[in-house]
Amino acid sequence: MLRGSWRQLWLFLLLLLLLLLLPGAPEPRGTSRPWEGTDEPGSAWAWPGFQRLQEQLRAAGALSKRYWTLFSCQVWPDDCDEDEEAAARPLGLEWDLNVRLHGQHLVRQLVLRTVRGYLETPQPDKALALSFHGWSGTGKNFVARMLVENLYRDGLMSDCVRMFIATFHFPHRKYVDLYKEQLMGQIRETQQLCHQTLFIFDEAEKLHPGLLEVLEPHLERRAPEGHRAEFTWTIFLFLSNLRGDIINEVVLKLLKAGWSREEITMEHLEPHLQAEIVETTDNGFGHSRLVKENLIDSFIPFLPLEYRHVRLCARDAFLSQELLYTEETLDEIAQMMAYVPKEEQLFSSQGCKSISQRINYFLS
């Protein structure tokens, strides 16, 4: 027991030393850095290379503070609440989106920017609503899990996270009024328990419009209520296959026109996506006030995955199971998938969804 305490003390002293050496460590009041307030054209501090270095140092300072929060929560868990640790976790989210998510440059940019910006807002006047759209297997649930795992210590088991599947949790239309009461109660209880909450609605296109009405008060901007002692950060995620076909059509058209995948921007996709969602007649999501009155902050398109992305998914699956693989093995796994359209054979019809099962079949 004493040895463990000494080990924690040494870890604390080492991290404290790093925090003092890295930018972002506490400084005496009135202390100034030589590059602050010096931007004359002839100044050495105005050199572009130095400005880039300055940005990197500031990022390192923020990084050190976040590591300190995560470290202290591990060493002294009794003195750390979930909200404090959650504030440090966008650091891991950025890494996951850059390393583990394949073929989704738009998702990477939009999710990181919107989530980080929202969580850094001192006094949010509404909840954040993100709507993920795309074919099955393109990464919607994968990114939702990334958010949960990086923002909450206990992941999906956290009391601050609620996940709903439309056909499982709200299967009968005749019980919509009961579901509304239950949903309102769960949202209220979760927000009372946690300063930062996350609600995920899978198969969002199958949600009854009456259920979506429950969320409207949280997504409408509200005037500040004096000097409130506490503010709640709430994120609503909607996951849907709705209009994945439109995303695929736009991407295919751009690729045929000579655009590279990475050159595709939201300006190419967002107008088509939102318009098609509103015009869809066989779902309540598109006809809800959330969509019609622009209460959704961002419609995020998941692009169809290509052969090279399927190979990367296969590689990650092998690594996660600590299995050896060869480049030829990755090709064999990727070739097992079906690709569309029939003529071009560009996009995996299932994305990366069944990769693990195909690896098990391959090894059996």
200-228 pLDDT, tens per residue? 999 999 999 889 999 999 999 875 554 44
Can you give the residue range of the structural domain that contains 340? 306-362
The predicted pLDDT at position 100 comes to: 95
In this structure, the answer to whether residues 115 and 238 fall within a common structural domain is yes
Residues of the chain with pLDDT under 70: 1-90, 223-231, 281-282
Is residue 63 in some structural domain?
no
Question: Domain of 249: which CATH number?
Answer: 3.40.50.300
Under 8 Å between Cβ of 205 and 165 = no
- pLDDT score for 283: 74
Q: Do 127 and 243 fall into the same domain?
A: yes
Same domain, 253 and 347: no
Among 303, 337, 353, the domain-final residue is 303
Is 192 within a domain?
yes
Query: Is 294 in the same domain as 311?
Result: no
Same domain, 169 and 100: yes
pLDDT for position 292 = 85
pLDDT value at position 259? Answer: 97
The rounded Cα 184 to chain-centroid distance in angstroms is 24
Domain boundary among 256, 271, 303: 303
- Write the pLDDT tens digit of every residue in 272-324: 887 788 777 667 788 788 988 889 999 999 999 999 999 999 999 999 999 99
Domain count, the chain: 2
Q: Tell me, yes or no, whether 214 and 286 share the same domain.
A: yes
Whether residue 273 is contained in a domain is answered as yes
The verdict on 271 and 333 lying in the same domain is: no
How far apart CA 355 and CA 351 sit, in angstroms, is 9
Which pLDDT score is estimated for 15? 52
Burial of 349 from C-beta contacts in 10 A (0-12 / 13-18 / 19+): middle
Question: 234 phi and psi, to 5 degrees?
Answer: -125, 130
Confirm whether 68 is domain-assigned: no
Q: Do 203 and 283 fall into the same domain?
A: yes
> Same domain, yes or no, for 325 and 283?
no
For position 110, what pLDDT does the model report?
A: 97
Record the pTM: 0.76
Residues 271 and 147 in one domain: yes
My answer on whether 271 and 213 are in the same domain is yes
> What pLDDT is attached to residue 227?
44
On whether the CB atoms of residues 304 and 347 are closer than 8 A, the answer is: yes
Last residue of one domain, picked from the residues 275, 303, 331: 303
The residues, ordered by sequence, that sit 6+ positions from 34 with a Cβ below 8 Å of its Cβ are: 45
Tokens of 143: 């990114």
Are 140 and 287 part of one and the same domain? Answer: yes
Query: Does residue 20 form part of some domain?
Result: no
Nearest CA among 137, 119, 166 for reference residue 248 = 137
Residue 157 is assigned to a structural domain of this protein: yes
